[in-house]
Amino acid sequence: MVVAERVRPQQQILKWRERLVEEVRQREGLRALLLAGPGGLWLLLFFLLPIAIVFAYSFARRGPYGTVVWSLTLENYARFFDWLYIRVFLVSVWLALLATVLCLLIGYPFAYVIARAPRRWRNALLVLVLIPFWTNFLVRTYAIMLLLRADGLINNALLWLGVIERPLPMLFTPFAVVLGLVYGFLPFMILPIYASIEKFDFTLVEAAQDLGANTWHVFWRILLPLTLPGVLAGSILVFIPSVGAFVTPDLLGGGKVVMIANLINQQFLTVRHWPFGSAVSFVLMAIVLAATLLYFRLGEGRRV
Amino acid sequence: MTLDMTIQSPVVPKKRKRLSLGWGALYLNVVLSFIFLYAPIVVMSIFSFNASRQMQVWMGFTLDWYVRLLHDERVRLAAKNSLIIALVATLVSTIIGTLAAMALERTRFRVKRFYEGALYLPIIVPEIVMAIALLVFFNLAFTWLDRLFGLQLNFGLGTITIAHIAFSFPFVAVVVRARLADFDRTLEQAAQDLGATDWQTFRYITLPLLMPGIIAGALLAFTLSIDDFVITFFNAGIGSTTLPLEIYGRVRRGITPDVNALSTVIMLVSMMLVLGYLFLQLQRRRTA
């Protein structure tokens, strides 16, 4: 009797606790749904679903007048092996790599100076880097266009100085595109490198110098390896938007330098071959994904 | 860092001589880089005050191009469109972005990893791919809505706004989440110990403390929306031209000084937005 009475309230308490836990869990589930729901819905409807449709389209055929006929063909992907399109891809990857390397060559020493500057100067210098970077991309590309034109400031200055006799054709060349990419994405390189140099322990430099290392050695054997995460992050941040750039090759390449995004644009808006355009988009995504994976692979290797 | 400096300072004078050439080159690189970063936009702004139609020579100062902008119907319409889109997109993406950040920081749910990954995707996926994906999606959706319900919809301000929300709310989520991560939760617990309900805690404790992050996120969303060209270009319709589209159209037709004036105005607007954003970030660091 006594025992039974003692057990029952305990069971009761356990039951209550269970119910409470359950209710809290349900409420948390409900709360999560309410909080994550709107964003999730938006992502699902206006991002994931559209991407999935593009993926499905990349296996479809082009009907008459640019319509899409559902099917399961690989011909859109097979079409890449046409030299015409391989060239576009090679040009894109090449120009993006060139821009990345140039950004690295300019950005690393630049970041080094900022990171070594007196503390109160650093933020001011960083803001100075960011200001042009955060102004409208189209406007900045247009500004480059103004400088590079046949009657632009650079050509006029060179003519006036007598360095050249006729205006140099600079606009609508691969040079202009690379310049535009570097101009557009240089801060993406500077910021992560700055972050890793700022964290770098400079007493290591002294230790190395005391042990007889010269400046060159210090840079190659100590500073660079230890700031490599920043270099890798910066490189990926410059390469990805460069390889998929649309405005830069469109305005500065002027149809003479065709990159992947221009090919996609052309397939969607001019030629109206949506299935092929979709396939090109997915190859672009594959390149970006490959670059990201490579970055993580290299990053992991570093950390070990 | 200060420790490191104190250790290093006595050594520096000895080494500096040997490194002087290196530092000279480094400073030169910085100076040239700043010229590279600023020359194009400065030249563009200067020539927006040029009295000549031809842009190679300076013919004196004028504000004509700016006055012309004020009276240009197309520019006015584009500015109005840009503002409407940016305001609506900012409002919606700030709300759903903040909610998403709260969901990620404060709750547990089954598909969280997937949700988080999907949220970061629009930031990584190339703009052009997102642009054509939305173009394809709206096209298909409009076809089906017409076929099923006889609903006649078309590309315009609506499609642009939806697209802008899709790419800017993940940025809001990232910014607000950063603020939530270094949030002192004991303040909320104190409020609840004192008898505040969940809603009161959120309204009077969480939200005010989160505000700088939310405003920073909103500013970022506004900047992203008003500056966007690629995604807008593919999802615009007749009469829904925005300022970047207007500039692009004019540049394509041939460069004239009024484009310089328009570009300069847009540049100044985005600069002010960015400085506002940076100011908030600085304040955040000070209060945190």
pLDDT at B200 over 60: yes
Query: In the predicted model, is pLDDT for residue B170 greater than 90?
Result: yes
pLDDT at position B238 over 70: yes
* H/E stretch holding B106: helix B73-106
Least confident residue range of A111-115, A149-153, B150-154 = A149-153
What DSSP line would sit under B25-61, residue for residue? Answer: HHHHHHHHHHHHHHHHHHHHHHHTTBS-SSSSS---B
The whole-number average pLDDT for the span A161-175 is 87
Lowest-pLDDT range, A37-46, A133-142, A249-258, A276-285?
Answer: A133-142
Using an 8 Å Cβ cutoff, are B188 and B201 in contact? yes
Q: Has residue A43 got a pLDDT over 80?
A: yes
Q: For residues A260 and A46, what is the distance between their CA atoms, to the nearest angstrom?
A: 23
Residues of B with Cβ-Cβ distance to A139 under 8 angstroms = 41, 44, 247, 263, 266-267
Query: Mean of the pLDDT values across residues A106-126?
Result: 89
Q: What residues does each domain of chain A span?
A: 2-57, 80-303
Q: Is the pLDDT of residue A5 over 70?
A: no
**pLDDT category of residue B285 using cuts at 50, 70 and 90:** low
State the pLDDT confidence band at B18, using cuts at 50, 70 and 90: very low
% residues pLDDT > 90 (chain B): 32
Least confident of A271-285, B135-149, B171-185, B267-281: B267-281
Cα separation, A86 vs A89, in Å, equals: 5
Residues of A in contact with B26 (CB under 8 A): 109, 112-113
* pLDDT at residue B4, rounded to an integer: 46
Is residue B94 predicted with pLDDT exceeding 90?
yes
Q: What is the mean pLDDT of chain B?
A: 84
Confirm or reject contact between A40 and chain B (CB < 8 A): yes
pLDDT at B19: 47
What's the whole-number mean pLDDT along residues B43-57?
Answer: 80
CATH code for the domain defined by B64-287: 1.10.3720.10
A68 strand-pairing partners: A62
Q: What does the pLDDT average to over A84-111?
A: 94
* Residue A221 near residue A208 (C-beta atoms within 8 A): yes
**pLDDT value at position B90?**
96
Cα separation, B14 vs A87, in Å, equals 54
Better-scored residue on pLDDT, B192 or B19: B192
* Stronger pLDDT, B271 or A1, i.e. the higher one: B271
Q: Are B176 and B105 in contact (CB under 8 A)?
A: no
Of B4, B43, B129, the CB nearest to A284: B129
Query: Which run of H or of E encompasses A2?
Result: helix A2-43
* pLDDT band for position B212 (cuts 50, 70, 90): confident
The DSSP H or E segment spanning A68 is: strand A68-69
Q: What pLDDT was estimated at residue A301?
A: 52
Nearest Cα residue in chain B from A246: B128
Residues 218 through 247 of chain A touching chain B, CB cutoff 8 Å = 240-241, 243-244, 246-247
Q: Are B191 and B204 in contact (CB under 8 A)?
A: yes
**Average of per-residue pLDDT across B192-198:** 86
Contact A139, A222 (CB under 8 A): no
Of A66-70, A124-128, B229-233, where does the model show the most confidence?
Answer: B229-233
**A138 and B125: CB-CB below 8 Å?**
no
pTM: 0.85
Nearest to B267 among A40, A113, A139 (CB): A139
Instruction: Classify domain A80-303 at the CATH class level.
Output: mainly alpha
Of B36, B100, B230, B140, the residue nearest A143 (C-alpha): B36
- Work out the widest C-alpha separation in chain A, in whole angstroms: 114
What's the pLDDT tens digit per position in A191-208? Answer: 999 999 888 888 888 888
Higher pLDDT, A134 or B207: B207
Residue B61 has pLDDT above 80, yes or no: yes
| Residues A248, A183: Cα–Cα separation, whole Å | 10
Partners of residue B27 in chain A, C-beta under 8 Å: 113
- Concatenate the DSSP letters of all residues of A108-172 into one string: HHHHHHHHHS-HHHHHHHHHHHHHHHTS-HHHHHHHHHHHHSTTSHHHHHHHHHTS-SS----TT
pLDDT of B29 > 80? The answer is yes
Tokens of B84: 């409407």
Residue A194 has which token pair? 């700055």
| Best mutation target, A43, A49, A51, A136, to test chain B (most B CBs within 10 A) | A136
User: Are the C-beta atoms of residues B255 and A127 closer than 8 Å to each other?
Assistant: no
* Most confident region among A74-83, B105-114, B162-171 by mean pLDDT: B162-171
Give ipTM to 2 decimals.
Answer: 0.84
